[in-house]
Amino acid sequence: MVACALPFFYLEDLQNVVPMLAAIAVGTVAGVVGARRVQMTQMPQMVALFNGVGGGAASLVALLELDEIGAGAPTFNLVATAFTIAVGAISFAGSAITFAKLQDLMTSRPVTFPGFPVAFGGSLIAVVVLSVLVVRDPTVGLGIAIGLVGLLVGVLLVLPVGGADVPIVISLLNAFTGLTVAAGGYVLSNTLLLVAGTLVGASGTFLTLLMASAMGRSVANILFGALKGGSTLGGGEASDRPVRSATPEDAAIMLAYADRVIIVPGYGLAVAQAQHALRELVDLLNERGGLVDYAIHPVAGRMPGHMNVLLAEAQVPYEELKEMDEINGEFKDADVVLVVGANDVVNPAAKTSPGAPIYGMPILNADQAKSVIFMKRSMRPGFAGIENELLFDERTQLLFGDAKDSMNKLLSAVKAL
């Protein structure tokens, strides 16, 4: 908003005022309507779209600026312009593919094909070569070529990513957009864009590295692990192995008489919009003298901080949200762990199965609790596409059904005790 308003105060010879105001009005209306209508479960898709639009806009602005600066411009300005066009296009295309994966417009599994490394490496080299040529001969034609090849790089960058890796890619593309805006700020001599873009780029990069570390993998493995079978795959078939089922009344008795309860929220909680009922249940358990906390895994949900935002919407006190490193040592003392719509973040395969796609990813130690109540819609696996042995543990009872419906029944059962 500040960037949109500043030109009206600082440019003496302002032109095209009417088109500028019209563009601001259209963008404002689209943004407000979209933000108000989007559901919490669709927030990751919205973030991906907004991120992609930012990168695409910076790329187009730099392309137009290329026609203005000409061959006499300083070399660093031309380098910044080429960088903005290329990385902005990569961010736009990559965000579009991320959106399609999250929106189920395409498979969430990694997409590869024979010769994929050659295609990706060749397109990346082509972007670098074209960028060098633009610095030597700044023509719009070469700028367009950079943008088109950059779009291809963005598509190929995200196609091999699947399943639980998507939130990390969103963060990475956010960093790309920030760096693009910062470079665009240098091209336009706009300090505000330079500062804002640098902040977004730095924070996005830091967040990406933290999330990758939380999964016990490198960023390179997350992006290209599928080429050697090491990426989270998504999909998977429902298991027909026997499990122990529980009724809401059974689960209510376990929770009502437990001294220590830990809640593990996941994407299923967001899908069902059950956070308000969950918060009411936790408040009731606290009133009965129990100690209840929420265990937050860094990559639970579909975007960075998804569970924090979801629970904040239900006005859950921040001090009840415990990060993985803080609470993992407390699971062994928990009487009951209530898993609501999570799967991969409590899957012991991350510790016990070297061949599993999530092997090495730090998980919440729900398997160490005295008993587990697992709320699931079905026996389908999580985004990693593998079975969760915790479901078949003798200490685990499954409460099947929509999370909101099951949570309301569980809440009513606790109140009736």
Residue 393 has pLDDT above 80, yes or no: yes
pTM more than 0.95: no
Confidence of residue 376 (pLDDT cuts 50, 70, 90): confident
Residue limits of CATH 3.40.50.1220 in the chain? 248-416
Cα 366 → chain centroid: 23
C-alpha–C-alpha distance, residues 331 and 318, integer Å: 20
Q: What phi and psi values does residue 376 have, to the nearest 5 degrees?
A: -140, 150
pLDDT, position 228: 63
DSSP state of 188: T
**Using one digit for the tens of pLDDT, what is the confidence trace for 27-86?**
888 888 877 877 766 777 888 888 899 999 999 999 988 877 766 778 888 999 999 999
Q: Which residues of 77-91 are buried (b: 16+ CB within 10 A; e: fewer)?
A: bbbbbbbbbbbbbbb
Indicate the pLDDT class of residue 210, thresholds 50, 70 and 90.
confident
DSSP 284-296: HHHHTT-EEEEEE
Whether residue 285 contacts residue 255, with contact meaning beta carbons closer than 8 Å, is answered with yes
Catalytic residue among 165, 293, 344, 367: 344
- The pLDDT, as a whole number, for residue 237 is 60
367 is catalytic: no
Point out the least confidently predicted range of 18-22, 266-270, 301-305. Answer: 301-305
- The pLDDT tens digits for 285-326 are 999 888 999 999 887 876 667 888 888 888 998 888 999 989
Write down the pLDDT at residue 153.
95
**Residues contacting residue 242 through CB under 8 Å, at least 6 positions apart:** 392
Which CATH number among 3.30.70.600, 3.65.10.10, 3.40.50.300, 3.40.50.1220 corresponds to the domain 248-416? 3.40.50.1220
Q: Which residue has the higher pLDDT, 29 or 228?
A: 29
Cβ(150)–Cβ(124) below 8 Å: no
Asked whether residue 226 carries a pLDDT value surpassing 70, the answer given is no
Q: For strand 336-340 and strand 260-265, is the pairing parallel, antiparallel, or unpaired?
A: parallel
Give percent above pLDDT 90 in the chain.
41
Does the pLDDT value for residue 4 go beyond 80? no
Name the percent of the chain lying above pLDDT 70.
89
